[in-house]
Structure 1
Amino acid sequence: MGGPVDTRLLCQSWLRSPQEDSDTEEVYRPAGFAFPRRERSRAGYRFDADGTVRRVGAGATDVPEVTTGVWQVDDEDPQGVRIVVGGSPQLLEIADLTPDRLAIRRPPSTDPG
């Protein structure tokens, strides 16, 4: 990505596009994106300019489950976004951010083999 996170681009609803994922990145598209049809709900994030983040995941009955937290650009890594949802802190490393694509780096695998 190169520079700091453009918060104007980040502040919207992003839904996971797993068919575009790679070994190193998870890909998200804006909520209005023309996704291929799928039977299950999509996970995602909603970043608001006031520092609120909503993480959307599939609940037990495949009904979206929304958890609210806070976010901010990381002080030490301008390409990182720190979120705290449900009391759990997490650093999202932004690999790519354009108006229609958000790519988050996957953490390195700790599986020895």
Structure 2
Amino acid sequence: MAAKLKPNHLCQEWIHSTEEDSDGEAVFRPADYEFPLTRRPRDFFTLHADGSLIKGQGTPSDSLQEDQGSWALDNNEISFRTQDEQLQTYQIASVASDKLVLKK
């Protein structure tokens, strides 16, 4: 990734597009993307400009659990911290207005 990312490039709701994942990368699309139907709820995260985060994950009962937290961008690494989880850091492989790719 050549240019340094700015936080405002990422501020939106990103939904996990599991169909596009590879062994080493996870793909996320904006909330208005036309995803194929799936039986399970899709994981998502919403990044706000003030550094706050809403993170949603599917549960074993096929419901969606939402947690609040914070996020930060350092060079091309993004970090998430929620009340229930430890700090998670991911390398950003690529980002565009319609696609975010994180290295697993």
In the superposition, the TM-score normalised over structure 1's length comes to 0.84
3-state DSSP of counterpart to 1:29: strand
Q: Which runs of 5+ in 1 are unaligned?
A: 107-113
Which residue of structure 1 lines up, in the alignment, with residue 82 of structure 2? 85
Q: Deviations over 1:60-95 (max 9, x none)?
A: 421111111111112xxx000122112511112111
* Counterparts of 2:60 and 2:37, CA distance in 1: 21
Would you say how many aligned residue pairs link Structure 1 and Structure 2?
Answer: 103
* Counterparts of 1:29 and 1:90, CA distance in 2: 19
Which residue of structure 1 lines up, in the alignment, with residue 102 of structure 2? 104
Which residue of structure 1 lines up, in the alignment, with residue 51 of structure 2? 51
- Identity %, equivalent residues: 30
Per the TM alignment, residue 4 of structure 1 is displaced from its structure 2 partner at its CA by: 2.0
Which residue of structure 1 lines up, in the alignment, with residue 93 of structure 2? 95
Which residue of structure 1 lines up, in the alignment, with residue 70 of structure 2? 70
Alignment of 1:33-52 (within 5 A): 33-52=33-52
| Between 12-21 and 54-63, the greater mean CA deviation after superposition | 54-63
Q: Between Structure 1 and Structure 2, whose CA radius of gyration is higher?
A: 1
- Aligned partner of 1:68: which letter? Q
In the superposition, the TM-score normalised over structure 2's length comes to 0.91
Q: Does residue 12 of the first structure (1) align with residue 12 of the second (2)?
A: yes
Q: Which runs of 5+ in 2 are unaligned?
A: none
Q: Deviations over 1:44-67 (max 9, x none)?
A: 111000100111101242111111
